[in-house]
Structure 1
Amino acid sequence: MRFCPENPGCPRGKEFQTMKRFIRSLAFCLALSLAFCCMGCSGLNQLSDALRGLAARETPAPSATPVPEQTAAPQQETPAPAEPEPAAAGELLAALDLALFKKDMESDPLTLKLTLKNPDALGIGMPEATWGELSYEETMRTAAEYEAFLTQLEQIDRSALSEDEQLTYDTIAQELYAFLASAEYYYYDEVLSPYNGLHTNLPFNFVLYDLDNEQDVENYLALLEDAARYMAEDVLRFEQEKAELGTFMNDVTLDKVLEHIKDFADAGEGCFLYATFADSLTALNLDADAEAAYLARNEAAVDGLLAAYHTLYDGLDALRGSASGTGALCEYGQEGLDYFEQGLNYAACSEITPDEAYNLLENEILAELYKYVGALSAEPDIEAQYGTIDLSIGTSEENLSMLEELMAGYYPELPAHTVRFIDVPEELEDQFSPAAYLVPPIDDASENTIIINLKTMEEDTRLLDTIAHEGYPGHMYHYIYLRGLVEKTGWYRQNMGLTGYYESWSQSAENFFDEYNTAFSNAYCTIMSADNRISGLLLPAAISIGVHYYGWDEAKITEYVAAYFGEEAAAELAPLYLEIALDDAFYYLEYAVGYSLLQQEQRDAKAELGEAFDLRAFHEAFLSIGPTYFNLIAPRLDAWVAAQR
C-alpha cells in the first residue's frame, strides 16, 4: 500500500448541524480529502503479512491508566396506567417531540431558516437575532431544561406506544442523557478545532443565508454584528477559562487554529462577506437609499468581525504554553477517561466502550485489507496504475447523473427533487473541502445544493467517489429519503446531529460506486478506496483511542503503523498520526466507528442470508428505521434479517 504524507487532510465527509453543546454550526455535509490519501502500494507480500499480524494481535490493555468502570444511565420507574391508552401516550410523545424541536429552533434566525421552510405551520416564530451566550452558566441552564424534558419523557407510558413511537422514545432518551453527560465536561470540550472549528464555520454561515426579504436582511445584519461580540468575548473567555484549568489546546494545535484565524482576519477589503451580501441584496430590488444603508451597515459589521478575529488571535496567542500536558485525555486521570468514554459514545452514535470500538476498528481494517488483496488478486497489474486514473466522466452534473442511473434498482426511489451546484468563495478555497452538501429543510427537501471547491477539485482524482459521498447515493439521497419519514420519526430526530449515523451511509455510498460502476475498473476503485479508508480513516481513529484511552506515545504508534506500512513509512507517519489525534480526540471516530458498525451489519446480513440477500431490500430496511443510534438500529436490522430467512 502507498503513502504520501505530503498530502494531509481530513475524512471525506463532515456534517454540521445545530449542536446542543457550545456552537451552532452550519447545516451541511463536507467532503474532505482523506488525511493520508494515497498511502501507497507495497504489494501483496506486505499486505499478507499485515493480515497475519493483525489476526495474531490482541487488544492492548491501558498502560498506566486506570480503566473506568462502566456506569449505566440512571433509570427511573415509569408509572404505568392501569389500562394503557396508546393514543394518549402517542399524543404526549408527539407534543414532547415538538417542544424539543421548538427549543432547538429558538436559537437564532439562521438555524430556523436552514431547518424549516414553513415554520409558521408548526407555530414557530422568528427567534431573536443573536448567537446567544457561551458560558458554563448557560450550559447548566440548558441542562436543567433538558433534564425537565427527560422527566416529562419518563412519565409517558412507553409500553402504550407503537413500535415506531417506542424507537422515537428511546432515541430522545438517549440523546437527552448524552447531553446531560456532556454538560459535566464543559471545559474538556473545544469550539476551535483545527478541523471544523467555529472560527472557520461561522463566517461561512452567512454565505448560506438566503436573503428573501428585508426581514432576512435585518436578521442577517444583526447576527453579523453580534458575531464580533461572540468571537472576541464569549469564545475568547471560554478559551481563557480552559487555560486556567489546564484543558487548553497544545501549542501545535494552537498554531493551526491561529493560522486559520489570521487568514480570515487579514482578508481586509478582500473578505468575501462584503461581496456576497452585496450580490444577495441586489436580487431584492430595493430602492437606492435602502440598499445603500444596508451596504454601509454590512461594511461596518464585517469590519467589526475582522477586528474581533484580530482580538481573538491576540488573546489566544497570549495563552501559548497553557496546556497542562500533550492533550491526551488519559493525562487527566479518571475524569479524562470518563470524558473520553462519553465523547466516544456521542461520536459513534452508539453505546460502545473504547475496547469494543478499538476491536471494531481493527476488524474493519482487516475487512478493508481483504478487499484490497482481493482486488489485486483479480487484476494483478492494477497496482502499477495506482493514482493515475481520473475517476470522472466530465462535469459534476454529468458525474451525478451517472451515479443516479447506476443506483437504480439498488436503492428505493426518491420523490421529485432538484439539485444545483455552487462554488465555494475563492477566499475560503484553502480551508474548504472538495465538496459539501447543504442539508435541506426538514419540511421540504425538494431543492438541494451541492457546494464545489473548484481549487481542490482540480486535484481530485476520485471525483466520482466525492460526488457519490455528497450526492447519489450518499448524503443528498439519504436526507431526501429521510425527510419523507417525518410523520414516523417526529421532528426532533430529524434535527439531531448524529454525525456517525449520517457518515456511515455516505461512506458506504462510495463503496457502492467502487463495486457496481461500469465506467472504470472495479478493482482499481476498490484498492484506491480501501487504501484511503485504512490510512486516512480507520487507522487514525484507532490511534485516537490508543492515545487518549490507552496512553500510547509516538513509539507505540510507530510500532502499530509499521504492521501495515513497514518501519520506514511508520517512522514518518507516526508523528503525524499523533498530532492529529491530539488536535481532536473524536474527529475521526465520528466517521470511522459508525461506518464500521454499518459495514458489519451488512456483512452479517449477507452471511446470514447468502444468495437470498438483496441489496435494495437491505438499504430500504436501514433507511426505514430513520435517524437514531446504532445500538437501536442493530436489533431492528437483526429482526429484518430473521424475517428474510
Structure 2
Amino acid sequence: MKKCRKLFLVFFSLLLIMLMAAGCEKKVNTETTRKDFDSFTNEVFKKEVTQDTLTLNFSLANPKNYGITKSPVTFGHYSISEKKDSLLAAENYLAALKGFSYRGLNDSQKLTYDILKKLWTLQLTSGKFPLYNEILGPTTGLQAQLPVLLAEYNFYTKEDIETYLKLLPDISRYFKEICQFEKQKSNAGLFMSDTVADSILAQCEAFVADKDNNYLIEVFNDKVSSYDGLTKKEIKAYEKTNKKAVLNNVIPAYQLLIDTLNSLKGTGTNDGGLAGLPNGKAYYRYLLASNTGTNRSPEELIKMLDSSILSNLKDLNALAKKDSKIYQEASSVSYPLSKPKEILEYLRSAVNEDFPPCPNVNFTVKYVHKSLQEYLSPAMYLVPAIDNYKNNVIYINENPDYKNQQIFNTLAHEGYPGHLYQSVYFRNTNPSPIRSLLSFGGYAEGWATYVEFYSYHLAGFPESQASFLDHSMAANMALYCRLDLGINYEGWTVAQTASYLQHFGITDKSTAKVLFSTMVEEPALYPEYGIGYLEFMAMRNKAENALGDDFNLKDFHKFVLDIGPAQFDIINDRMDGWLKAQK
C-alpha cells in the first residue's frame, strides 16, 4: 500500500538541533557519527513502518524486536492534508540527513545516505502535483491489490488475528477518504476517463457480487481453523466477527467506491495519456523517475528504447538468416517442466552457475481466487517480512486469458532468480531495516524482467531458439515502453499509436486501441519493467566492455545484488569503483 507519512515535529526539531551542532564540529567523531546515523535511520524506519497496519504486518513478524510495542490499527490516510504532512516529513528528514558528516560514515551508511537523499529530494517535487496521483487502477490499484493483501495478512500470533479483526472496520473511513480525493480530482478536471473507471467498476462489482461467500470470508475461515492453539469456541467467535466485518464494512466500502465512481463518470476531461492534462507532461517526468529509479530524461529514454527495438530486431533478423525456420521452431518450443513446484525447484538449482548462493528458503504456490482472476496480473510474489524472509508466497493466476503465457518464465520472474531470490538474497545480507522498507520498482521489476529473459537459456532449448525468444521479448518490452512514453509524454492519439505500430507490421486497429488503453490506465507501469531491464543491461554491457575476458557474469550479478534496491545512478557510481577493483 502507498503510505502517507505523519511527522512528529518535536522529535525532529530536537534532532535537527543536535545534528546541526554536530555538523559544526571541525573534527568528526566517526564512532559517534555512525551510531547517530543508525539511530536516525532506525527512527525513520519505525515511524514509517507503523503508518498503517498492513505495512507493519508485512514488514515485521516481531515488531517488539525493533522497539515497536504499540502502533495504531489503521489503513493509513489518503488525503491532501496527509500528502502535505508527507512532504513536510520528507523536507525535515532531508534536513536531518544533511546534518551528518558524510565522510564520517562507513560505506554501507554512505550508500543508505545517498539513496535517502535522492529519494526525499525527488519526493519533494511531487508537491507540485497534489491531485495527480491515482491510487486506483485496473491492475495495480489499491482496490485490486487489497483483497489479496487482506487474505495474506500474517497470523503470527493470536494477537495478530485480533488486530486484523479490528482493522477491517477501518476500511469504511479509508475508502471514504479515497472517494473524497476522487471528488477533488474531478472538481479540478483531473478525474480518470470513463474507460478506466469502467474497468475499475467491473472489478469492484465482481468482488462484491456474492456477498455471503466473499473471498475474504472463505480464506479467513480456512486460516483460523488451521491455527494451532485456538479452541472451537474462539474459532467460531473469530469467524462470526470476520463475516460481520466483511458484510458490514468491506463490502459497503467497495460499494461506496462503486457509487462514487459512477457518480463521477463523465467528469473526466482527458481520454488520452497524462500529456493531455495541464502539467501532465511534468507530472509524467516525476512519475517516470519515481517508478523506474532512472535519472535519464524522457527524451533520453526514447532514444534508448528506439535503439533497443532496432538492435533486437537486427539480432532477430540475423538469427532468421542463419535458420529460416527459427520463428516456427521458437514458437513451438516444448518446456521440460509444467508443474510450478517442479519448475521452481529446477530453477533454484539451475541458477547456481551464474548467480551467487542464496539461502535455502521455503516457498508456497497459491492460486488467485476466481473472483479476482480477471483483474490481477498472471502471477505475483509477496515480499516477506524482514525478519521472516525464509517463508515465501507466489500467487499464480489461472485466468484463461493467460493460458498462452509460459509458466516457466513467469516463475523465473517471480521466483528464481527473480523476485523471491533477489528479496531473500538482500535480506540475508542483514541491511539496515530502512533499506528493506524502501521500494524501487525499476530495480525490482527490472531485475525480474532481466532474469525472466535470461531464463530462456535455462529451459534446455537450443541456444539459437533461446536467443530468438530472448530478443523477441526484449523487443516487445521496449515497444510497450515506447508506447507508454509516446502516449503519456508525447501525447499520441489512438491514430498516432496505430500509425507507429504499423512500422512493425502491426496493422490491426483493435490492437492499437487495446495498447493505447493499457498505457492510459496505468502510466509509467511498463517502464518499471522495461527501463529497469535496459538499465541492468547497460550496466552489464559496461562491465563486459571494461573487463573484456576478465568479465564474470556471476561476479556482476553479485555486485548488483549486494548493492540492493536503489536508484540506478547510485548503483552506477558504485560500479565504477567495483570495476577498478576487478581490474
Q: Which residue of 1 aligns with 2:210?
A: 267
Residue 413 of structure 2 aligns to a residue in which SS? helix
Name the stretch that deviates more: 288-297 or 312-321.
288-297
Shift of 1:583: 1.2
Residues 138 and 541 of structure 1, relative CA distance in 2, 3 Å threshold? same
Instruction: Report the counterpart of residue 594 of structure 1 in structure 2.
Output: 532
Give the match for residue 432 of structure 1.
376
Q: CA deviation at 1:355?
A: 0.7
Tell me the C-alpha RMSD between the 2 structures: 2.3
Which of residues 584, 590, 598 in structure 1 aligns to 2:522?
584
Secondary structure of 1:281's match? Answer: helix
Query: Counterpart amino acid of 2:543?
Result: A
Query: Does the 8 Å contact 1:93/1:169 carry over to 2?
Result: no
| 1:507 matched residue in structure 2 | 449
2:273 corresponds to 1:310: no
Q: Establish whether residue 625 from structure 1 lines up as the match of residue 563 from structure 2.
A: yes
Q: Is the aligned partner of 1:384 residue 2:322? A: no
Distance 2:28 2:78 in 1: 43
1:550 aligns with 2:490: yes
2:40 equivalent to 1:125? no
Q: Could you tell me how far apart the structure 1 residues matched to 2:123 and 2:326 are?
A: 48
Report the Cα distance in structure 2 between the residues aligned to 1:520 and 1:457, rounded to whole angstroms. Answer: 25
Q: 1:329 aligns with which of 252, 263, 274?
A: 274
Counterpart for residue 479 of structure 2: 539
Which residue, out of 245, 255, 265, partners 2:198? 255
TM-aligned CA deviation for residue 336 of structure 1: 2.3
Q: Contact 1:422–1:452 (CA<8 Å) still a contact in 2?
A: yes
Given residue 243 of structure 1, which amino acid in structure 2 is its aligned partner?
Answer: S
Shift of residue 141 of structure 1? 1.6
Indicate if the aligned counterparts of 2:131 and 2:190 stay in contact, CA closer than 8 A. yes
Deviation string 1:21-58 (CA, Å, 9 cap, x unpaired) is 59xxxxxxxxxxxxxxxxxxxxxxxxxxxxxxxxxxxx
Q: Choose from 463, 485, 501 the match for 1:522.
A: 463
Contact between 2:354 and 2:553, CA under 8 Å: does it hold in 1? yes
Counting aligned pairs with the same residue, the percent is 27
Matched residue of 1:419: which SS?
strand
Q: What does 1:73-112 correspond to in 2, within 5 Å?
A: 79=23, 81-112=25-56
Instruction: Indicate the SS of the match to 2:394.
Output: strand
Amino acid in structure 2 at the alignment position of 1:620: K
Kept in 2: contact 1:329–1:336 (CA 8 A): yes
Letter in 2 for 1:321: G
Q: For the structure 1 residues 20 and 213, does the alpha-carbon distance in structure 2 shift closer, same or farther, using more than 3 Å as the test?
A: closer
Question: Closer, same or farther in 2 for the Cα pair 1:289/1:484, shift >3 Å?
Answer: closer
- How far apart are 1:327 and its partner, in Å? 4.3
Deviations 1:187-217, CA, capped at 9 Å, x for gaps: 1010111121111111211111132333112
Deviates more, 1:619-628 or 1:602-611: 602-611
Where 2:353 maps in the other structure, the secondary structure is: coil
CA contact (8 A) 2:272 2:487 kept: no
> What amino acid is the match of 2:442?
G
Distance 1:477 1:627 in 2: 13
Check whether the contact 2:456–2:469 (CA below 8 A) recurs between aligned residues: no
| 1:337–1:549 Cα contact (<8 Å) kept | yes
Q: Whole-Å Cα distance in 2 between the matches of residues 617 and 370 of structure 1?
A: 29
Q: Matched residues in 2 for 1:173 and 1:263: separation? A: 43
CA–CA distance in structure 2, aligned partners of residues 591 and 139 of structure 1? 27
* Closer/same/farther in 2, CA of residues 21 and 229 from structure 1, 3 Å limit: closer
Partner of 1:639: 577
Q: CA deviation at 1:316?
A: 0.6
2:178 corresponds, among 235, 239, 246, to: 235
Letter in 2 for 1:115: S
Q: Tell me, which stretches of 5 or more residues in structure 1 are unaligned?
A: 1-17, 23-75
The 8 Å contact of residues 376 and 523 in structure 1, kept in 2 or not, is answered as no
Report 1 or 2 for greater relative contact order, CA contacts < 8 Å, sequence distance ≥ 6. 1
**Cα distance change of structure 1 residues 122 and 308 upon mapping to structure 2, 3 Å threshold:** closer
C-alpha contact (below 8 Å) 1:389/1:461 kept by paired residues = no
More deviation, 386-395/192-201: 386-395
> 1:205/1:317 Cα in 2 relative to 1: closer, same or farther (>3 Å)?
same
Q: Alignment partner of 1:479: what SS?
A: helix
Whether the 8 Å CA contact 1:444–1:483 is kept in 2: the answer is: no
Cα deviations by residue, 1:338-396 (Å, 9 ceiling, x for unpaired): 21111111011122211112112222223332443344345432212454334341311
CA distance in 2: counterparts of 1:435 and 1:325, whole angstroms: 31
Q: Following the alignment from structure 1 to structure 2, what is the Cα–Cα distance between the partners of residues 616 and 441?
A: 27
Structure 1 residue 629, shift from structure 2 partner: 0.5
Task: Tell me how far apart the structure 1 counterparts of residues 554 and 73 of structure 2 sit (CA, whole Å).
Answer: 44
Alignment of 1:281-292 (within 5 A): 281-284=224-227, 285-292=229-236
Tell me the SS of whatever aligns to 2:93: helix
Which residue among 3, 19, 28 is the counterpart of 2:2? 19
The 1:267/1:534 distance shift into structure 2, 3 A limit, reads farther
Give the TM-score taking structure 2 as reference length.
0.92
Alpha-carbon contact 2:363-2:391 (below 8 Å) kept: yes
Q: Which moved more, 1:505-514 or 1:250-259?
A: 505-514
Within 1, Cα distance between the matches of 2:315 and 2:418?
21
Q: What SS class does the counterpart of residue 381 from structure 2 fall into?
A: strand
Return the offset for 1:444: 3.4
- Alignment-derived partner of residue 497 in structure 1: 439
What is the SS of the residue equivalent to 2:247?
Answer: helix
Work out which of the residue numbers 535, 541, 552 in structure 2 matches 1:614.
552
With over 3 angstroms needed to count, the CA separation of the structure-2 counterparts of 1:527 and 1:607, relative to structure 1, is same
Letter in 2 for 1:492: I
- Tell me if structure 1 keeps the 8 A contact 2:139–2:376: no
Given the alignment of the two structures, is residue 563 of structure 1 paired with residue 546 of structure 2, yes or no?
A: no
Question: After superposition, what is the alpha-carbon deviation per residue over 1:397-448, rounded to whole angstroms, capped at 9, x for unaligned?
Answer: 2111221222112111112322222222232222233322221221332222
Per the alignment, residue 13 of structure 1 pairs with none
